[in-house]
Structure 1
């Protein structure tokens, strides 16, 4: 008879699903739980942005209320908008990261590649990323509602 192991039971129940590459951004993050929840939704592209609401027939005005330049989607909302990109650039400089921020998918790809370890720099980056996403989302909601 084989010895009982919780890990083996969990793996059997879980199945052979692939782990997402951005999992470290959520599960190894010391940010506030509400930050992590919004980051999780953003990573899964489940935030109710105006482009998603337009597909549901809820709204017809797609313009991002902060810059009034482009339509609101997750790519523009996070890091492509000139205002948010400026803030993100300053936050990267504050952390001592010498790079320019990219678009949403580029930033997440960079983070999953370079900030997956447990150094203090990586921990701070993950918290700043989650906090930035959360506060941009809250500001967006405050402007709309």
Structure 2
């Protein structure tokens, strides 16, 4: 009897998801990975969810684009976050349009696979962008502070 054997006997094995290596890679920044994970799961408490809970009076996007905020909107359908993501893609030498959120995740899964510098940079840039967009959204929503 070993601790490992006991753990293996009670452990639940879920099928691995395609985006796992996009989030949980060795070079990850833990807080970026955590928020990227929540965003991929659709678990971020965006304004559409907060409105349903009665926490906020409106689901309008914090970036003043006149659309309701959801995970799909925030990453990167919103005109403000779309322009940020477009610049980040350019800095990573990726010349393409921003995609709808599920397709963006899939594209990153396919094009950020591996351990070479460009792939690691893409993973880090994706996580950092999601994290900083989320932090800015929270600053605007709950602290009434704005970054340029």
Return the TM-score normalized by structure 2. 0.85
Q: Do structure 1's residue 14 and structure 2's residue 11 form an aligned pair?
A: yes
2:101 equivalent among 104, 107, 130: 104
Deviation at 1:66, TM superposition (A): 0.7
Aligned to 2:42: 45
Matches within 5 A, 1:55-66: 55-66=52-63
What CA deviation, in whole Å up to 9, does each residue of 1:42-66 have, x standing for no partner?
1111111011112223223010021
Q: Count residues with an aligned counterpart.
A: 142
Q: Offset at 1:112? A: 1.1
Gaps in structure 1 of 5+ consecutive residues: none
- For 1:90 and 1:57, how far apart are their aligned partners in 2? 35
TM-superposition CA deviations, 1:70-128 (whole Å, max 9, x none): 00100111111111111111111111112111111110011112212222111000000
SS in 2 for 1:137: helix
Instruction: Measure, in 2, the Cα distance between the counterparts of 1:118 and 1:138.
Output: 28
CA shift, 1:69, in A, is 1.4
Which region of structure 1 is more displaced relative to structure 2, 39-48 or 55-64?
A: 55-64
- Shift in Å, 1:32: 2.2
Distance in 2 separating the partners of 1:43 and 1:10? 28
SS at match of 1:88: helix
CA distance in structure 2 between the partners assigned to 1:21 and 1:97 by the alignment: 21
Unaligned segments of structure 2, at least 5 residues: 143-148
Q: Secondary structure at the match of 2:93?
A: coil
Inter-partner Cα distance in structure 2 for 1:12 and 1:20: 22
TM-score calculated relative to the size of structure 1: 0.87
Say yes or no: does 1:131 pair with 2:128.
yes
CA 1:59–1:23: 2 relative to 1, 3 Å: same
